[in-house]
Amino acid sequence: MIRIIFFTIFFLFCEILIINKFLEDLALKYKLWYLNIGDDSQRRVFKIIYDIKHLKDTNIFVFGGSASREFFVNDKNISKSLNVNFYNCAVSSETPFDSYKLQTLLKSSNIIIYAIHPKSLYDTDYNISQITKGCYFGGSYYKYPVFLKQNELKNFNITDNNINFINKLSPELNTYTYLGKIYLKNIIKKIVKNKDLKLFNFKEPQRYYYINKPLNVDLLDKKLNNYFNKLKHTEEILSLNIAVIEQMIKLANKKHNKFVLFELPFSPIIQQRFKPYLKEYYKELNKLLKKYPNVIFISNKTLPISKQNLFYDTIHLLPNGRKYYYKATLKNLKKVINGK
């Protein structure tokens, strides 16, 4: 009986490894982001995974949420100006944990930029999602970071109940399984609704999503009020994000990658409403920078004076905002490349 159990487990592990290799080869041969899985942000994540596996030489990789995605101008323009490959890996609702997972795919001798903003570092929903589910890489199948202990997050209910057996054996295999499930779900939904059944979407996933004018003032105020009404356990949430960013720094050091914290601009309305939180934000940030002196910090004070008409809402820039900050951003990035 013991032998049977032993060989069953042995062959199961062999099968997992073989399937893993097969799926990895499949992902490189066929662009899985072509699958019409319905969510453009999800497609963009898998496009990023695909491209990272093909990139060579020294590159600059940007991680962060949608504010980071919206801040930097087109990758090709920056690459041409810097004479270094610039690659924006930021997607909507990308948590620090999502960024950490993407970072594990990178090779050595690269430059990693993590764009930070207090609004996302304090966001309650954003962080609970990060801990218990994650937004990408198989959604709820991925475990919250193993380096975070339950007693550090006493106000959150963290359990292993949402982690299935396959993921414990092979997260990568489980990710592809998850992608397949989303794909099939999308197909079934279209069949039921008698919509055009498109199995593949060959268009590049969208990078910029916002319109060319600011959000209505009343809607903007309502959006902010909802945000602050939900804001609880601020110090714990901030500490959680800082803990994940610290793991990103450790991974960068291990792989001999240069790590940069790029502080995104505060819109005037954020500067005003976030005053009670900024002291704690900078306290935690300075503590992290003191612990890791090799990390380069680019303060938003190096950027031109912020104006509300440059923003769609509170943190997402409009096209004129990207142009407004472009010159100062290039200047900062050149200093990073030259080691200044």
Concatenating the DSSP letter of every residue in 120-135 gives HHH-HHHHHHHHHT-S
What's the burial of 192, exposed, middle or buried (CB within 10 Å: 0-12/13-18/19+)?
exposed
Q: What phi, psi does 52 have (nearest 5°)?
A: -60, -40
Q: Given pLDDT bands bounded at 50, 70 and 90, which one contains residue 13?
A: low
Mean pLDDT, rounded, of the chain: 79
pLDDT at 25: 63
pLDDT at 147: 38
Q: Per mean pLDDT, which of 190-194, 202-206, 231-235 is the most reliable?
A: 202-206
Q: Is the pLDDT of residue 16 over 70?
A: no
pLDDT at 141: 36
pLDDT at 151: 40
**Integer Cα distance of 55 and 61 in angstroms:** 11
> Closest Cα to residue 66, out of 248, 312, 273?
312
Q: Which helix (H) or strand (E) holds 111?
A: strand 111-116
152-176 mean pLDDT: 51
Q: Is the pLDDT of residue 234 over 80?
A: no
Q: Is the pLDDT of residue 253 over 60?
A: yes
The secondary structure of 27-72 as a DSSP string is: HHHS-GGGB--S-HHHHHHHHHHHHHHH--S-EEEEE-SHHHHHHS
pLDDT at 146: 39
Distance of CA 215 to the CA centre of its chain: 24
Bridge partner list, 263: 116
Please tell me the least confidently modeled range out of 58-72, 98-112, 277-291: 98-112
Q: Is the pLDDT of residue 150 over 90?
A: no
Q: Is the pLDDT of residue 235 over 80?
A: no
Comparing 313 with 148, the larger pLDDT belongs to 313
Comparing 127 with 309, the larger pLDDT belongs to 309
How many angstroms separate the most distant Cα atoms in the chain? 72
293-303 mean pLDDT: 97
Distance of CA 21 to the CA centre of its chain: 25
Comparing 289 with 100, the larger pLDDT belongs to 289
Contacts with 27 (C-beta within 8 Å, 6 or more apart), sequence order: 49, 50, 53, 176
Give the pTM.
Answer: 0.82
- Categorise residue 115: left if φ over 0, alpha if ψ from -120 to 50, beta otherwise: beta
Q: Is the pLDDT of residue 107 over 70?
A: yes
% of the chain exceeding 70 in pLDDT: 74
**Integer Cα distance of 157 and 306 in angstroms:** 39
Q: Given pLDDT bands bounded at 50, 70 and 90, which one contains residue 55?
A: confident
pLDDT at 62: 97
Give all domains of the chain, ordered by start, each with its CATH number. Answer: 58-160+210-337 (3.40.50.1110)
